[in-house]
Amino acid sequence: MSEKIVIIDYGSGNLHSVQKAFQRGAAAKGHSVVVSADPAAVSAADRVVLPGVGAFGDCRAGLEAVSGMREALHARVIEQGVPFFGICVGMQLMAERGLERGSHDGLGWLGGDVVHLTPQDPGLKVPHMGWNALGSVASHPVFRDVPTGRHVYFVHSYHMKTTDPSQTLASVDYGGPVTAAVGRDNLFGTQFHPEKSQHVGAKIIENFLEWRP
């Protein structure tokens, strides 16, 4: 069955690469990928992708500024349970709160806060920028054939600390554990950028498109 994958456009960052990366994975399956700012598109989506770059508070405000979007997202993802993929700040927004430049409410889909990175080694730079090796990757359909040790691309200064450790699906080491992926049920999110992570990223996107939670 042909599916419709909707990437939400709420004025945050470059959607071009995200769109291209998902299109590459979707084309072989006959799925369509659209970038949309229309809540009606989300209501009809078979899968929803929420990207996001920049500050947590700005992204949250941007999402709120699209009339009816938060309600449509909640209905489609939480009530009706379609697969959801949050990327970077789009992933962080699933938390209860973001503590970047003040405290901002998240969507509250996962328990936990988004906090500043504090590597134990003071020589480590923030932002955490570049390719890091995935550690302790959970057994999860979206990580099929993506073993521990594979490198993915990060650029961020904050990360999510989940209250329930089982909701952290992968982490990397950067002067201590840094959350790389989170999720539960039909929710999945990565702190890293699959659309910038070459073959490994493409595999994760492909897995997401096949995922039937």
Partner 1 sequence: MLTTRVIPCLDVKDGRVVKGVNFVDLRDAGDPVEAAIAYDTAGADELCFLDINASHENRGTILDVASRTADQCFMPLTIGGGIRTVEDIRALLLAGADKVSINSAAVKDPDFVARAADKFGAQCIVVSIDPRQVAPGRWELFTHGGRNPTGIDAIAFAALMAQKGAGEIMVTSMDRDGTRDGFDLELTRQVVEAVPVPVIASGGVGNLQHLVDGVTIGGANAVLAASIFHFGDYSIGEAKAYMAEHGVRVRPMEAV
Cα gap 137→150, rounded to integer Å: 10
- Find the angle CA(77)-CA(32)-CA(156) to the nearest 5 degrees: 60
Phi-psi label, residue 102: left if phi above 0, alpha if psi -120 to 50, beta otherwise: left
Cα gap 140→136, rounded to integer Å: 12
- # chain residues binding partner 1, by CB under 8 A: 43
65 in contact with partner 1 (CB under 8 A): no
Cβ closest to partner 1, residue 132 vs residue 167: 132
Site for partner 1 in 174-203 (CB under 8 A): 174, 193, 195-203
Q: Which of 145, 164, 185, 210 touches partner 1 by CB under 8 A?
A: 145
159 in contact with partner 1 (CB under 8 A): no
Nearest distance, CB of residue 111 and partner 1, angstroms:
26
Cβ closest to partner 1, residue 77 vs residue 87: 87
62 in contact with partner 1 (CB under 8 A): no
Q: Which residues contact 103 (CB under 8 A, 6 or more apart)?
A: 97
Q: Which residues contact 208 (CB under 8 A, 6 or more apart)?
A: 25, 47, 83, 85, 142, 188
Q: Which two tokens stand for residue 185?
A: 């049920």
Cβ closest to partner 1, residue 67 vs residue 157: 157
Nearest distance, CB of residue 131 and partner 1, angstroms:
4
115 in contact with partner 1 (CB under 8 A): no
35 in contact with partner 1 (CB under 8 A): no
Let me know: does 186 contact 121? Beta carbons within 8 Å.
Answer: no
Catalytic residues, by residue number, are: 88, 193, 195
Half-sphere exposure of 155 (CA within 13 A, CB side): 10
Positions in the binding site for partner 1 (CB under 8 A): 13-14, 16-17, 20-21, 24, 53-55, 58, 124-133, 145-146, 150-151, 153-157, 172-174, 193, 195-203
